[in-house]
């Protein structure tokens, strides 16, 4: 079959063949480094899309090593995604030379008393093991300025800000020949990110996996396109095949940013058990919750959600809630309590029935979108005039 052509102005901006980006997914459980590792980035970029490294769970040095590995494996463009909440960025980086790692048990003692006591009580009641993990305090999230500087020094082709507005680094990134992307969950933030000078805005709807807002994709995409204009917008949240790609392009988006579908690929960093959970999930099996990060994020529903709801506790600010949730999830993991563990995932999980190589996910999407957009419409649709 002849190779399909699917191009938008995004392809010219980024130097890619197809307007499909794999989302920068960080870790969704303790024990994994990232959902979107080097292997996924390279597979997607080599297949003609653009792969984005999920660098939120890395230390700055690990991120630099991963960037250099990608450059060795492909000469195609790629991206790096960081979580940069405004308050953490404004607070500046902690001074160098401090402890690079601390035991989670020591960090947990810095939590508010009620949260710490709840954790201890739950551990005792459920006979869970004490966990002794080392937590990297040199993670990109805790050292946002060093992490951004490293991306600029490495001249990463596309810098992606998963949380927060990347405006503070746009000038330096442009001077290094880079493009900058920010993610928004409503029209107001899409406009703000565009006004801050970013080159691209991702509009991520309510149904997406990971951190997510309150507006559904079909309502959000066209409103974000209007709000961000003339800055181009990519669609995210609920895209799992070529039908989603065609819908996004029909609404005026220049491309798509796809998470959950690429998490269920051979090359993603998700654990096998997480991939299987996604295959089993129906469209109703995810929930939006504050449990994991203190901000609303969507994950596969599991019994940890009920346990947290019953606790009556308020979620802690990001990233303190991450510490609490990480400890809990690791205890459940070590005790083999699988029904208390579920990965970040979007509602599109219900449509995913097969773990595939990332390149095939991408080419299947392209072929189906091209069929639809070249007017091979479903038989039930008649157009003319």
Ligand X SMILES: Cc1cc2nc3c(=O)[nH]c(=O)nc-3n(C[C@H](O)[C@H](O)[C@H](O)COP(=O)(O)O)c2cc1C
Residue 365, interface with ligand X (CB under 6 A)?
A: no
Would you say 173 or 263 has its CB closer to ligand X? 263
Please tell me whether residue 346 binds ligand X under the rule CB under 6 A. yes
Min dist. Cβ of residue 271 to ligand X (A) = 11
**Which tokens belong to 268?**
């993603």
Binds ligand X (CB under 6 A): choice among 348, 358, 369, 372: 348
Query: For ligand X, how many residues bind (rule: CB under 6 A)?
Result: 31
Q: Which of 19, 85, 185, 237 binds ligand X (CB under 6 A)?
A: 237
Count helices and strands in the chain by DSSP H and E runs: 16, 13
Minimum distance of ligand X from residue 278's CB (angstroms): 9
Q: Is 315 in the site for ligand X (CB under 6 A)?
A: no
Looking at the Cβ atoms of 64 and 271, the one nearer to ligand X is 271
d(CA 209, CA 343): 9
Which residues between 175 and 214 bind ligand X (CB under 6 A)? 183, 204, 207-210
Q: Which is nearer to ligand X, 48 or 238 (CB)?
A: 238
Stretch that binds ligand X, among 11-19, 147-155, 232-240, 301-309 (CB under 6 A): 232-240
Cis peptide before 230 (omega within 30 of 0): yes
- Give me the least distance between CB of 125 and ligand X, in Å please: 29
Q: Is position 54 an interface residue for ligand X (rule: CB under 6 A)?
A: yes
Rounded to the nearest whole angstrom, what is the least distance from the CB of residue 224 to ligand X in the complex?
13
Q: Kindly report whether the peptide bond that precedes residue 319 is cis, defined as omega within 30 degrees of 0.
A: yes
- Least spacing, CB of residue 65 vs ligand X, in Å: 18
Instruction: Write the DSSP assignment of 35-102 as a string of letters.
Output: SS-HHHHHHHHHTTSEEEEE-TTSBHHHHHHHHHHHHHH--S--EEEEE--HHHHHH-PPPTTS-SEE
Q: Which residue is nearest to ligand X (CB)?
A: 259
Cα 162 to Cα 198: distance, rounded to the nearest angstrom: 13
Environment class of residue 366 by beta-carbon count within 10 Å: exposed (0-12), middle (13-18) or buried (19+)? Answer: buried
Distance CA(106)–CA(332), nearest Å, equals: 19
* Among residues 45, 345, 361, 362, the one that binds ligand X under rule CB under 6 A: 345
Least Å from the CB of residue 27 to ligand X: 7
Q: Is 255 in the site for ligand X (CB under 6 A)?
A: no
The residues in 131-170 that bind ligand X, with binding defined as CB under 6 A, are 162
Nearest to 317 by CA among 192, 193, 141: 141
Shortest distance, position 341 Cβ to ligand X, whole Å: 13
Options 19, 24, 166, 242; binder of ligand X; rule CB under 6 A: 24
Beta carbons of 56 and 140 less than 8 angstroms apart: yes
Residues 6+ apart with CB under 8 A from 134: 101, 102, 103, 104
Distance (Å, whole) CA 297 – CA 286: 10
Report whether 304 contacts 5 (CB < 8 A): no
Closest approach, Cβ 171 to ligand X, in A, equals 22
Residue 315 or residue 342: which is nearer to ligand X going by CB?
Answer: 342
CA atoms within 13 A on the CB side of 309: 9
Our CB check for ligand X shows the closer of 115 and 346 to be 346
Contact residues for ligand X, defined by CB under 6 A: 23-26, 28, 35, 54, 56, 81, 83, 162, 183, 204, 207-210, 236-239, 257-260, 263, 343-346, 348
């Amino acid at each position: 079959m002849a190779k399909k052509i699917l191009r938008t102005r995004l392809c010219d901006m980024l130097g890619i063949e197809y307007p499909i980006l794999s989302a920068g997914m960080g870790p969704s459980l303790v024990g994994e480094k990232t959902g979107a590792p080097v292997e996924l980035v390279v597979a997607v970029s080599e297949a003609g899309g653009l792969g984005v490294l999920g660098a939120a769970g890395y230390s700055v040095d690990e991120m630099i090593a991963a960037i250099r590995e990608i450059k060795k494996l492909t000469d195609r463009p790629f991206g790096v995604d960081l979580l940069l909440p405004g308050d953490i960025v404004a607070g500046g980086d902690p001074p160098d030379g401090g402890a690079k790692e601390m035991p989670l048990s020591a960090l947990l003692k810095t939590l508010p008393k009620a949260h710490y006591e709840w954790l201890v009580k739950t551990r005792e009641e459920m006979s869970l093991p004490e966990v002794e993990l080392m937590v990297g305090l040199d993670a990109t999230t805790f050292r946002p300025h060093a992490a951004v500087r490293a991306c600029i020094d490495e001249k990463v082709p596309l810098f992606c800000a998963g949380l927060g507005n990347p405006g503070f680094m746009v000038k330096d990134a442009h001077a290094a020949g880079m493009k900058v992307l920010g993610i928004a969950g409503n029209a107001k933030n899409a406009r703000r990110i565009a006004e801050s000078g970013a080159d691209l805005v991702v509009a991520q709807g309510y149904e997406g996996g990971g951190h997510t807002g309150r507006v559904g994709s079909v309502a959000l995409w066209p409103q974000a396109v209007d709000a961000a204009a003339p800055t181009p917008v990519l669609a995210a949240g609920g895209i799992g095949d070529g039908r989603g790609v065609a819908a996004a392009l029909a609404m005026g988006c220049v491309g798509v940013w796809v998470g959950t579908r690429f998490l269920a690929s051979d090359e993603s960093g998700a654990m096998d058990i997480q991939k299987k959970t996604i295959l089993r999930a129906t469209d109703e099996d995810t929930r939006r919750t504050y449990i994991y990060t203190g901000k609303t994020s969507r994950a596969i529903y599991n019994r940890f959600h009920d346990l947290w709801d019953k606790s009556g506790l308020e979620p802690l600010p990001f990233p303190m809630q991450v510490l609490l949730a990480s400890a809990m999830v690791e205890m459940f993991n070590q005790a083999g309590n699988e029904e208390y563990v579920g990965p970040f995932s979007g509602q599109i999980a219900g449509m995913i029935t097969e773990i595939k190589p990332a390149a095939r996910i991408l080419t299947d999407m392209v072929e189906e979108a091209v069929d639809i957009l070249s007017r091979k419409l479903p038989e039930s649709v008649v157009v003319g005039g």
